[in-house]
């Protein structure tokens, strides 16, 4: 059936092959670990950069909001100084509307249907 008898390779050759395969596997493992480290470092760098950019955007928006709020406060102060009676009437009307709204909420919360 077989033309030649089956022979095992010499022990030294087999051992050398095993060593070679083990070295190749070890190198592949080191390459994988190194590429994973590099990928993680790059991802961390990108995330860090995005967080810095986000933080800068928040600071910019906060500064803009403070400027606008300051402008509104100045406008309101000027309006109140120029028209004190009208400002007082507006404030009273706003306070009355708020009080009516809060009373309506309280009655609903108690389930009165609006009856005292």
Instruction: Please write the tens of the pLDDT for every residue from 31-61.
Output: 888 888 888 888 888 888 888 888 788 888 8
Asked if the structure places residue 17 within a domain, the reply is yes
Q: How far apart are CA 45 and CA 49, in angstroms?
A: 6
Q: Are residues 95 and 65 in the same domain?
A: no
Q: Could you give the angle at which helices 84-110 and 11-82 cross, rounded to 10 degrees?
A: 120
pLDDT at residue 113 is higher than 90:
no
Question: What's the whole-number mean pLDDT along residues 97-105?
Answer: 95
Query: Are residues 94 and 70 both part of a single domain?
Result: no
Q: How far, rounded to the nearest angstrom, does the alpha carbon of residue 96 sit from its chain's CA centroid?
A: 42
pLDDT greater at residue 65 or residue 58: 65
Q: Which range marks the domain in which residue 93 is found? A: 84-116
pLDDT of 10: 66
- Same domain? For 70 and 91 the reply is no
In a domain, 6, yes or no: no
- Percent above pLDDT 90 for the chain: 17
Instruction: Say if residue 72 is in the same domain as residue 15.
Output: yes
99 and 113 together in one domain: yes
Residue 3 lies in a domain: no
| Same domain for 34 and 69 | yes
pLDDT of residue 34: 84
Same domain, 61 and 21: yes
The pTM of the full predicted model, rounded to 2 decimals, is 0.38
Same domain? 67 vs 96: no
Does residue 29 sit within a domain?
yes
Strands (E), 1-116: none
In angstroms, the CA 86 to CA 78 distance is: 13
Q: What whole-number distance in Å separates Cα of residue 22 and Cα of residue 36?
A: 21
User: How much is the pLDDT for 37?
Assistant: 85
- Per the domain annotation, does 4 fall within a domain? no
Examine the domain organization and report whether 18 and 75 are in the same domain. Answer: yes
Supply the pLDDT for residue 92. 94
Instruction: Give pLDDT, residue 103.
Output: 94
- Dihedral of the alpha carbons of 86, 87, 93, 99, in degrees to the nearest 10: -160
């Amino acid at each position: 059936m077989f033309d030649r008898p089956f022979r095992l390779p010499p022990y030294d050759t087999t051992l050398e092959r095993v060593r070679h395969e083990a070295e190749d596997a070890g190198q592949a493992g080191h390459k994988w670990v190194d590429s994973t480290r590099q990928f993680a470092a790059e991802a961390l760098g990108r995330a860090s950069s995005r967080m810095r950019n986000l933080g800068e955007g928040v600071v910019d928006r906060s500064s803009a909001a403070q400027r606008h709020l300051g402008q509104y406060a100045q406008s309101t102060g000027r309006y109140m100084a120029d028209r004190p009676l009208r400002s007082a009437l507006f404030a009273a009307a706003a306070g009355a509307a708020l009080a009516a709204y809060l009373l309506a909420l309280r009655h609903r919360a108690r389930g009165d249907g609006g009856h005292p």
